[in-house]
Amino acid sequence: MVEKTVSEINERIKDGSVRVVTADKMSEIVKELGPEEAAKEVDVVTTGTFGAMCSSGVFMNLGHADPPIKMKRIWLNDVEAYTGIAAADAYIGAAQLSGSMVALT
């Protein structure tokens, strides 16, 4: 089994030697080299698109406080998340701008 740490991959990113391939390309590499050798050759496999799409986002469960609370408005790194889902859940969309970037006109 091939093991790579995040630190090792980050070092390769910094020095420019990282090998990043798409999921399609990784399938070809595995067919050619086998899974063990492919894992040695490739550091990162991406399945993402070129940029964030407006429908991209993440649902988060932040856990219940003691005593329980209902979140009404929350911000993560100055980006507002939608909290009208459940008491401890939030959704943040990829297209949501940070509060410091929003210009009200």
Nearest to 47, CA basis, from 21, 27, 25, 23: 23
Give tens-digit pLDDT for 32-74: 999 999 999 999 998 766 565 667 888 999 888 888 888 888 8
Task: Give the three-state DSSP class for 105.
Answer: coil
Query: For 46, how many CA atoms within 13 A lie in the half-sphere containing its CB?
Result: 9
Count of CB atoms situated within 10 Å of the CB of 42: 19
pTM: 0.46
Which amino acid is present at 30? V
Give tens-digit pLDDT for 5-40: 999 999 999 999 999 998 889 999 999 999 999 999
Domain ranges of the chain: 6-46, 50-105
Which amino acid is present at 23? A
- At residue 22's C-alpha, the angle toward residues 17 and 27, to 5°, is 110
